[in-house]
Structure 1
Amino acid sequence: MTSGWNSRRLTILAVGTALVMTGCDSSGDDAAPSGVPSPSPTIAPDVPTGYDPCTDIPQSVLDSENLRGKDKQDSNASGGVKWRGCGWVQTDGYAPAITTTNITVDMVRDKKFADTREYAINGRRAISTRQVEEHPDAVCTINVEMKGGSLEFFLSNPPSNRKTGQLDTCALAKTLAEKVVATMPSSA
């Protein structure tokens, strides 16, 4: 279990760094003169407020997905990217981390990850991607729009999981996201 969460943290840090680096340009002789700021993506200084996945997801939602063993999943990446939230596990099934992040839906879209799909969840823009190249079928990330960032669902579902391993990871993530997002206040 611990190594899975450590792998997730490394993946998150790599993705966060890649997202922040989107605005950097090393174009050699055509670079901006010294003292002139180069363009960079606008990122909120902190994660969105108004919904804390560790305390605001109703127990009934967690029970409906048989999620247990809440574990804090806070992390930071270079460039000010942040995640704040918790992870759970489903015995012999998938393991989600649900975090607020200052990464926006548009930032995710701009990275053009594999199997990118956009849709709405409870009236909010959402995007699902397969960001882990080594295990594209076993990991899915969904970001759902919030003011100043997004609510991120990072779902790990290795094929060896007896309950869910043969199910589509992004379909599982979307079902979970639909249940959770329905509990968010419209002000978040």
Structure 2
Amino acid sequence: MISRGKTLVGAALGVGAVVLLSGCGSSTDGDAKPATATSTSAGPSLAAAAPNSYDPCKDVPQSVLDSEKLHGKDPDNSDASGGVEWRGCMWVRSNGYGVSIRTTNLTIDLIRSRNFPEATEFTINGRRAISTRQFDGPYIKEACTVDVEMKGGSLEFNLNNPPSNRDTGSIDSCVLARGLAEKVVPSLPATA
């Protein structure tokens, strides 16, 4: 059951990465190209690399994982076109949500510029944050991404919560993602 859950979460989180990078790209000989995350001096830009001052696989407090009943840590690193990087791990909650917590070189300003549905800006522990819905179609409410500002990018919480999950399925995925972020962000070093 855990393997199936991780596979489903991984697939959903992978789709989120594709959605983030898709659109607004060019086409060459009929092959659509995803837009790169970097931009001109007139707009927000992509940081050079995912921040390494915080390692979600090691630095997310065990007390937070326990309080959320998260287990089954798996590395979840990926790179996308345009130089976008994610570095971190994925956890699942039996009969509940799955979440990937990763550092990324996507900045809050760059994420805001993508105009994702239901973008909501707020602060956590004095840091700028934004929650977004990055999926299209019928699954838009199942997933939510919260990014919290770090030097050189953000700490990203990409949460998938299908309504069929007995323990958390009736809770909005953005409420869950923001609540988890509020528990984890105080563990970020002040210099991160």
Looking at structure 1, the residues matched to 43 and 128 of structure 2 have their Cα atoms a distance apart, in angstroms, of 23
User: Is 1:79 the counterpart of 2:82 in the alignment?
Assistant: yes
Equivalent residue for 1:20, pick from 25, 36, 39: 36
Equivalent residue for 2:108, pick from 91, 105, 108: 105
Show the 5 A alignment for 1:58-137. 58-134=61-137, 135-137=139-141
Gaps of 5+ in 1: 25-37
Gaps of 5+ in 2: 24-34
Query: SS in structure 2 opposite 1:20?
Result: coil
Deviations 1:60-81 (A, max 9, x none): 1100100000011100000100
Contact 2:47–2:153 (8 Å) recurs in 1: yes
Higher mean C-alpha deviation, range 118-127 or range 3-12: 3-12
Higher mean C-alpha deviation, range 70-79 or range 14-23: 14-23
User: Is 1:9 the counterpart of 2:25 in the alignment?
Assistant: no
Query: SS in structure 1 opposite 2:158?
Result: strand
TM-score by length of 2: 0.85
Shift of 1:10: 3.4
TM-aligned CA distance change 1:39 to 1:169, over 3 Å: same
TM-score by length of 1: 0.87
RMSD of the TM alignment (CA)?
Answer: 1.9
Equivalent residue for 2:182, pick from 156, 178, 183: 178
What is the aligned length? 175
Identical pairs, percent: 51
Looking at structure 1, the residues matched to 130 and 43 of structure 2 have their Cα atoms a distance apart, in angstroms, of 22
Shift of 1:133: 1.4
| Runs of 4+ displaced beyond 4 Å | 38-41
Query: SS in structure 1 opposite 2:175?
Result: helix
Query: Bigger radius of gyration, 1 or 2?
Result: 1
Looking at structure 1, the residues matched to 166 and 155 of structure 2 have their Cα atoms a distance apart, in angstroms, of 28
Structure 2 letter corresponding to 1:20? T
**2:161 is matched with which residue?**
157
